[in-house]
């Protein structure tokens, strides 16, 4: 029986355009990395959205924290026959989300602002435009920290629940084949047990990103072996690099003594 980390399952879709932050792990440690989304996104209908009594055109700006939020904002606008005015301002969590807007709008003709992938940085930008009326597209399982911060800052905003996160079917997946599972949201942890209610961790290492995911793992009775972000490892790939290097070295040739 080997103890080395040789095969890892990332509970997300494979990165687009070949931009894989885990490439160096594969190269440096000869590990195999598979990607499989543990959750799926299901957009709510325009009929259901109307029940929330949120009028999109009452807002002058939109806060976008993901590409999924972008897709479902414009989807619901299309379904409700809402024409988004050119004066609408867009505040994005990152440059990649901002550029993704080009799928739906003429980028150069809009007022678009973006942060460096951190919501706290985006908040600094929002505070410079605190007179705006913000719309915040969210999932039904969104992180409560974001609305709480906006409320604390006394910004005028409305939550718009536009999509829900549902469990993917993982019937064909054999979790025992992996030395490590990597999670990025509480929904992914829930999906694991929805699909495998009798899952036993044993020697399988578990890694996660974010405090809410860490809490979900611990609340499920699992052992958390790797957590990001930290000062030393701000990204998941960096955290895995540090852990695998140390773990595989400590276990020598990988054989039990």
Read off the pLDDT of each residue in 164-176 and give the average, rounded to a whole number: 92
Q: Locate 39 and state its tokens.
A: 């959750």
pLDDT digit string, tens, across residues 187-223: 999 999 999 999 999 999 999 998 889 999 999 999 9
pLDDT exceeds cutoff 80 at 177: yes
Domain ranges for the chain: 7-38+168-250, 42-166
Say if 7-38+168-250 and 42-166 have the same CATH topology.
yes
Read off the pLDDT of each residue in 228-235 and give the average, rounded to a whole number: 92
Q: Judge contact between 195 and 169, C-beta under 8 A.
A: yes
Read off the pLDDT of each residue in 18-33 and give the average, rounded to a whole number: 88
pLDDT digit string, tens, across residues 112-131: 999 998 888 999 999 999 99
CATH entry, 7-38+168-250, from 3.30.460.10, 1.10.3080.10, 3.90.1570.10, 3.40.50.10090: 3.40.50.10090
Cα gap 160→52, rounded to integer Å: 8
Q: Judge contact between 130 and 66, C-beta under 8 A.
A: no
Nearest to 2 by CA among 177, 251, 176, 250: 251
pLDDT band for position 18 (50/70/90)?
low
- Residue 1's pLDDT is 42
Cα gap 215→218, rounded to integer Å: 5
CATH entry, 42-166, from 3.40.50.720, 1.10.10.10, 3.40.50.10090, 3.10.100.10: 3.40.50.10090
> pTM for the complete prediction?
0.76
pLDDT band for position 106 (50/70/90)?
confident
Say whether 159 sits in a helix, a strand or coil: strand
Q: Locate 40 and state its tokens.
A: 């799926």
């Amino acid at each position: 029986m080997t103890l080395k980390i040789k095969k890892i399952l990332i509970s997300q879709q494979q990165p687009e355009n070949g931009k894989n932050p885990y490439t160096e792990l594969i190269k440096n440690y000869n590990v195999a990395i598979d990607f499989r989304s543990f959750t799926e996104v299901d957009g709510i209908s325009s009929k259901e959205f109307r029940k929330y009594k949120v009028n999109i055109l009452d807002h002058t700006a939109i806060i976008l924290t993901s590409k999924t939020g972008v897709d479902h904002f414009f989807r619901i606008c299309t379904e409700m026959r809402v024409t988004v005015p050119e004066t609408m301002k867009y505040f994005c969590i990152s440059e990649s989300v901002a550029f993704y807007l080009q799928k739906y709008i003429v980028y150069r003709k809009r007022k678009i602002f973006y942060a460096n992938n951190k919501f706290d940085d985006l908040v600094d930008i929002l505070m410079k435009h605190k007179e705006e009326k913000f719309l915040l597209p969210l999932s039904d399982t969104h992180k409560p920290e974001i609305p709480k911060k906006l409320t604390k800052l006394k910004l005028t905003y409305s939550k718009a629940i536009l999509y829900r996160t549902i469990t993917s079917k993982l019937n064909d997946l054999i979790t025992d084949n992996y030395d490590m599972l990597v999670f990025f949201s509480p929904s992914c942890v829930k999906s694991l047990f929805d699909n495998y209610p009798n899952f036993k961790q044993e020697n399988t290492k578990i890694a996660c990103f974010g405090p809410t995911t860490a809490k979900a793992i611990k609340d499920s009775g699992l052992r958390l072996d790797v957590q990001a972000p930290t000062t030393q490892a701000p990204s998941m790939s960096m955290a895995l690099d540090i852990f695998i290097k140390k773990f595989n070295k400590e276990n020598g040739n990988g054989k039990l003594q």
